[in-house]
Structures are given as structure tokens and as C-alpha cells.
């Protein structure tokens, strides 16, 4: 039981050590954002003042989970918040 508690504590703090660079940094690579603007995979920072939607369909997420071994699981989560209407931007044909 102590081992499980220690493992959970380590897993909670592990993302802090491996945190990705901030949005806009040249090292940021994000598959969701690669279809926007110039396709370089860099998303802009979120600004709630630009989001006038009342529904959650503007959030897109991808979760990838892979088993690294008997005692390790790798999980990657990517979220994109689309702040502007595709119709207003003329992007209705974009998947």
C-alpha cells in the first residue's frame, strides 16, 4: 500500500519536471494546431475574451496511452480550444 501511495505522489509531481515549453515557443509541437494558420503546430495563447460560444463543441482533445512495460504507462493529452467561429473565419471546410 505504501508503494502505491508513493507511486501516486511521484506521478502527480512528474509532469512538473517534464512540463512542455509555453505556447508560441519554437519547441512546441502539437498535432491539433498543425491544421491552423501556417501549419507549424504552434497554437496561440487562450484568451477568454475571444470566446463567445455557449457550448463545448469548440474543444478538441486527443489522448494517446501506450503501455511501456509491466510497470509503466505513457499518456499524452493534447487539447485545443477554438476561440473563433469557423464560419466567421471562412474555415468550414477544415476538418
Domain extent at residue 85 = 22-89
Pairing of strands 72-81, 59-69: antiparallel
Query: What is the percentage of the chain residues whose pLDDT exceeds 90?
Result: 0
Local confidence band at 50 (pLDDT 50, 70, 90 cut-offs):
low
C-alpha cell at 11: 506521478
Position 10 in a domain: no
Position 68 in a domain: yes
Structural domain count of the chain: 1
| Average pLDDT along the chain | 68
pLDDT, residue 8, reads 76
Residue 20 has pLDDT above 60, yes or no: no
Position 94 in a domain: no
C-alpha cell at 95: 476538418
C-alpha cell at 18: 517534464
Amino acid at each position: 500500500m505504501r508503494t502505491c501511495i508513493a507511486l501516486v505522489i511521484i506521478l502527480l509531481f512528474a509532469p512538473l519536471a517534464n512540463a512542455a515549453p509555453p505556447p508560441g515557443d519554437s519547441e512546441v509541437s502539437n498535432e491539433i494546431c498543425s491544421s491552423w494558420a501556417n501549419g507549424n503546430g504552434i497554437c496561440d495563447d487562450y484568451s477568454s475574451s475571444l470566446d463567445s460560444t455557449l457550448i463545448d463543441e469548440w474543444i478538441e482533445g486527443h489522448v494517446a496511452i501506450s503501455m511501456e512495460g509491466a510497470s509503466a504507462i505513457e499518456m499524452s493529452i493534447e487539447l485545443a480550444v477554438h476561440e473563433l467561429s469557423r464560419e466567421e473565419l471562412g474555415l468550414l471546410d477544415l476538418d
